Amino acid sequence: MARITDHDSSRIFDAAREWRDQCLVAGKSLLWGDRELWSPSNLQRFKACFIDRPDLSKDKNFEQKFKAQLAAETDDVTRLACELLFVYFLFPTSVGRPRKTGLIREVANWRSLEANDKAPLFDAFDTGIGDPGLVYNTGRPNELTYLARFAIAVADKPESERLELLHDHLRARALLDDLAEAHREEFGRPPQSRHILLFLLFPDDYERIASEGHKARICEAFSEIIEGEKPEDVDDQLKAIRQRLTELLSGRDLDFYWEPLRACWYTDGESETLGALPALHIKQQIVLYGPPGTGKTYQARVIASSLIRQELLKLWGPRRFFSTSDTELSEIIAARTHRVQFHPGYGYEDFVRGLQIAGNGQTEYRDGVLLRLVGEMQREPVEEHKIPVVLILDEMNRADLSKVLGECFSLLEDRDTEVQLGGHDEKPRKVRLPARLYVIGTMNLIDQSLEHVDFALRRRFLWFFRGFSREDFLAVSQKRWSALLEARQLRRDWEKVEAEFEILADRALRLNEIIDGNGYLGSQYEIGHTYFCDVVSFAHRYLMSSEKRRNRVLFNGRGMGLDPVVTLWRYSLAPLLTQYLSGIDSAEREALLTRAASVLLAGQGS
């Protein structure tokens, strides 16, 4: 069943079913008894104030805009707005119950209405289904627009037809697809709510996937296991893949975000249609570039692992692949992933080949990293000749790339040709790069601007920017916190501090927005999420050194930063920014530092 998740989500499905029956079919209320809230007239009034009068200003947040749009409407339209938010919040795990209920309660309070967030229905907010990503949060008005338009399209039908539509997943999908296409034309991107609504309404027929790009990548990774003719629709392909995997992996609970399936297609933080992994399949060479501390090297290893796993799945077939232990797979991947750290002194003789003094005192040509790797690949047993090898060129722009690559530069573009190496060997040396050799480069923009990268080199790679990631910050922080819990160095569960970490994540985003908009800095000076993850260690020290139980860890009740956040600013972030700003006027530098500190420590100054 596709409804399997990491936790008991039965209350979410119960709430979705009640929304379907009470609201979409009967037109009643979800939170306020038998009121006629989801009527065509109320939905049209909501459309008139919210969809037809969008607020595109950039100086106000969502709540301020939403309040102004609803100001002239009736109490019931405000209640309807609360219930639309309730449905919108059913899926995401990236927002905790306090923030979900807090926004609904705030909207209700605008008209002195009471939203009983202690009611059993709100227990659906205790978990969530999955993380739809940052765009789902930042694009809240667009997602609410799509959700309201779906409700309007359903409400315009007779009740008997509404009932049939909402119990027929193909008819519902056709309607959602029509609305999604119109949404894409209007807003320039597809709504994630299309996928979320299909799962909430028909969890046995659809996957818990909110991303169109993720669905496409899963189909690309697993489509070869489908027996017979492949369905045209991506959701039907996913269903066929699940059915086949269920046969092959009998007795396992399957989820595409769990191992062993996840590692075959997923790379952290990607939701766009063309991610780094499929790009590596297409071009064979990619570069992950961005500011320091954004996990580029780690992600390069993850991408390499996923690529090798995908190819092993195709070569071996699913039965052998999934019966191989993860330890054995990890050993194969490690043996076929090679990392080279570039630096200013790294040269052609290190990477390709160069003259070295032999034991007899004579000079001779010796292969560098690249030629040794090519030689190893050529000597492999025949059965391994189709398994990829990945070469990671770490911080590649710290070296002079044209000199390091030499005549092998052209081989990156055409794997079918060979070049003759320079030098005076007795026998001319020719080389070509194997088709199964893939290259992943990483670049820190602060080390050297991309403006200095040769244009001929640019066209040989596909380029992916890696900046601060709110999702990665929270994921890594949770992982570190959980490790301390397992080691019995902490006693407070992650759920009790998650809301405070989300506040820090939001402030980190705002801090980086200031950096991006500063004329002296820009996106290449963003502060990567790994810098902020140090706050976990500071929080651990803060809690362990306390003589009394502390209710809060990162921020007090007024939103002021506590010792862990102050320590993060004072000993990590402030010195980093000071170094970045070392060449500007001291008064301007202090003004920017003061503004940055107020955003992080007090939530002000943005």
- Kindly write down the DSSP assignment for every residue of 225-280, as one continuous string: G--SSPPSSHHHHHHHHHHHHHHHTTT----TTSTTTGGGT--TT--SSS-HHHHH
- Over range 62-80, report the average pLDDT: 95
CB 370 within 8 A of CB 408: yes
Q: What integer pLDDT is reported at residue 491 of this predicted model? A: 81
d(CA 330, CA 305): 8
pLDDT (tens digit, 9 = 90+) per residue, 365-419?
Answer: 788 889 899 999 989 888 888 899 999 999 988 888 888 888 777 787 777 777 7
CB 234 within 8 A of CB 253: no
What is the percent of the chain where pLDDT is above 70? 93
DSSP per-residue codes, 482-539: HHHHHTTS--S-GGGTHHHHHHHHHHHHHHHHHHHH-TTS-GGGPPPHHHHTTHHHHH
Q: What integer pLDDT is reported at residue 606 of this predicted model? A: 52
- Over range 317-346, report the average pLDDT: 90
Q: What integer pLDDT is reported at residue 207 of this predicted model? A: 94
pLDDT (tens digit, 9 = 90+) per residue, 528-538?
Answer: 999 999 999 99
pLDDT (tens digit, 9 = 90+) per residue, 482-510?
Answer: 999 888 888 888 888 888 998 999 899 99
Q: The dihedral of CA 484, 486, 487, 488: what is its sign?
A: positive
d(CA 464, CA 287): 6
The two most distant CA atoms of the chain are separated, in Å, by 95
C-alpha separations of 410 from 123, 397, 402, 406, 425 in Å: 60, 18, 10, 9, 21
With H, G, I as helix, E, B as strand and everything else as coil, classify residue 561.
strand
φ/ψ bin of 167: left (φ > 0), alpha (ψ from -120 to 50), beta (otherwise)? alpha
Q: Between 273 and 212, whose confidence is greater?
A: 212
**217 sits in which H/E element:** helix 212-222
Least confident segment among 263-272, 318-327, 338-347: 263-272
Q: How confident is the model at residue 96 (pLDDT cuts 50, 70, 90)?
A: confident
Least confident segment among 87-96, 449-458, 526-535: 449-458
Q: Does the pLDDT of residue 552 top 60, yes or no?
A: yes
- Over range 435-464, report the average pLDDT: 78
Q: What integer pLDDT is reported at residue 202 of this predicted model? A: 96
Q: How far is CA 530 from the centre of its chain?
A: 15
pLDDT (tens digit, 9 = 90+) per residue, 298-311?
Answer: 999 999 998 999 89
Q: What integer pLDDT is reported at residue 425 of this predicted model? A: 61
Least confident segment among 111-115, 220-224, 361-365: 361-365
Q: How far is CA 584 from the centre of its chain?
A: 35
Domain range annotation of the chain: 10-201, 296-465, 470-602
Q: What integer pLDDT is reported at residue 225 of this predicted model? A: 85
Q: What integer pLDDT is reported at residue 123 of this predicted model? A: 92
**141 sits in which H/E element:** helix 140-155
Q: Does the pLDDT of residue 359 top 70, yes or no?
A: no
Q: Chain-wide mean pLDDT for the chain? A: 87
- Over range 31-49, report the average pLDDT: 95
Q: Between 253 and 209, whose confidence is greater?
A: 209
Q: Hey, what are 500's tokens?
A: 């405070």
Q: How confident is the model at residue 333 (pLDDT cuts 50, 70, 90)?
A: very high
pLDDT (tens digit, 9 = 90+) per residue, 8-21?
Answer: 788 999 999 999 99
Q: Between 381 and 25, whose confidence is greater?
A: 25
Q: What integer pLDDT is reported at residue 262 of this predicted model? A: 85
Q: What integer pLDDT is reported at residue 261 of this predicted model? A: 86
With H, G, I as helix, E, B as strand and everything else as coil, classify residue 544.
helix
C-alpha separations of 173 from 99, 198, 205, 210, 232 in Å: 30, 7, 11, 14, 14
d(CA 582, CA 79): 53
Q: Does the pLDDT of residue 33 top 60, yes or no?
A: yes
**Residues near 572 by Cβ (< 8 Å), separated by ≥ 6?**
531, 534
Q: What integer pLDDT is reported at residue 376 of this predicted model? A: 92
Q: Between 549 and 154, whose confidence is greater?
A: 154
Q: What integer pLDDT is reported at residue 171 of this predicted model? A: 97
Q: What integer pLDDT is reported at residue 304 of this predicted model? A: 95
DSSP conformation class of 383: G
Q: What integer pLDDT is reported at residue 195 of this predicted model? A: 97
CB 464 within 8 A of CB 412: no
Q: Between 268 and 42, whose confidence is greater?
A: 42
Q: What integer pLDDT is reported at residue 599 of this predicted model? A: 92
Q: What integer pLDDT is reported at residue 18 of this predicted model? A: 96
Q: Does the pLDDT of residue 272 top 60, yes or no?
A: no
d(CA 258, CA 209): 12
Q: What integer pLDDT is reported at residue 28 of this predicted model? A: 95
Counting beta carbons within 10 angstroms of the beta carbon of residue 200, is it exposed (0 to 12), middle (13 to 18) or buried (19 or more)? buried
- Over range 472-479, report the average pLDDT: 90
CATH of domain 296-465: 3.40.50
With CA atoms as reference, report the closest residue to 29 among 121, 103, 97.
121
- Over range 257-281, report the average pLDDT: 76
Q: Hey, what are 489's tokens?
A: 């160095």
